Amino acid sequence: MTSPTDHRIAIVGAGVMGTGIAALALGHGIPVVLVDIDDTTLETARDRIRQQLRHAQLMGALPPEVGQGELTTTAEIAEVGPTTAVIEAVTESAGTKAKVFAELSAVMRPGVPLISNTSGIPIAEMAGWTARPEQLVGTHFMNPSYLIRMVEVSRGPRTADATVDAVVALLTALGRRAVLVGDAAGFVTSRLLHPMINAAARIVEQRTATVEAVDELMEGCLGHPTGPLRTADLIGLDNLVDSLAALYKRTGDQNCKPCDLLLQKVRDGDLGRKTGHGFYEYGKAMS
């Protein structure tokens, strides 16, 4: 059995998901190197991680007997140093991910798992962007990562068994339960959740019901824990639109084509909790 000190992970991408995964790892005593494009972004990420760690502690979501891991930040992928795993958590853009994978291929040690937190792009497609496709595997952490204990894991046709075993061991050290699924656009969670949110937004767009009514009905009648539109604000409407666009491109499913209301909110900068306003108002942006 591994202990937290057996792991040292690098996370590329200091957005909502990257910082949430970093907080989860740090709270379980695992050192993290967080990579993003500039010092301003990284300073914002450090503040967000401190807030998330406090929240996780208040919620009793972290093991009390484990000391906090060390956080290192850098704007250069080449400076991540030795790691036991690398998690890619950049925007759901094929071009951006391909660039990151190419850079990581040049600096990663053989055998180190490359974990993509993709929400929609198949692992088989991404395998063509790295020199080491056998080390590539997909995970889908949910937001907030430090509260949700189940993680979807998808292997591509070229993913090695050793890579899957190493990722499951890492998730176990993080107190998460891995659920393995096949490789496909959107896998399971995004393929079900994101078109549903899109449909909920379209209902509001067509003035069939208010935002509040849609969420109330989904919670009270169908058992959705937070309502689809409040969930959309938590995901980030820009992230949601990117994921839907990726799904639509790869499946042709009209249910995945982002509706006009979602697109307008993204154009207006109403991205959800992280900006302080989306489908709901939150008073202030998440720092």
The reported pLDDT for the residue numbered 23 is 97
User: Which residues 6+ apart lie within 8 Å of 110 measured at CB?
Assistant: 132, 135
CATH topology of domain 189-275: N-(1-d-carboxylethyl)-l-norvaline Dehydrogenase; domain 2 (1.10.1040)
DSSP-derived secondary structure letter, 21:
H
The encoded tokens of residue 69 equal 């891991």
Domains of the chain, residue spans: 4-181, 189-275
- Domain 4-181, what architecture? 3-Layer(aba) Sandwich (3.40)
Q: What secondary structure letter does DSSP report for 200? A: H
Handedness of CA 179, 184, 190, 195 (dihedral sign): negative
* Rounded (10°) angle between helices 260-267 and 237-251: 140
pTM given for the model: 0.89
Q: Is 281 in a helix, a strand, or coil?
A: strand
Question: Band of the pLDDT at 6, cuts 50, 70, 90?
Answer: confident
pLDDT confidence band for 228 (50 / 70 / 90): very high
Check the CA dihedral 101-105-109-111 and report its sign: positive
Show contacts of 38-41: CB within 8 Å, 24+ apart.
38/75, 39/75, 41/14
Q: Is the dihedral of CA 217, 235, 91, 117 positive or negative?
A: negative
Q: Which residue has the higher pLDDT, 11 or 4?
A: 11
pLDDT digits (tens, 9 = 90+) for 234-275: 999 999 999 999 999 999 999 999 999 999 999 999 999 999
Yes or no: say if 14 and 82 are a contact pair by the CB < 8 Å rule. Answer: no
Q: Which of 69, 10, 20 is nearest to 49 (CA)?
A: 20
| 286: pLDDT strictly greater than 60 | no
N- to C-terminal Cα separation, the chain: 37
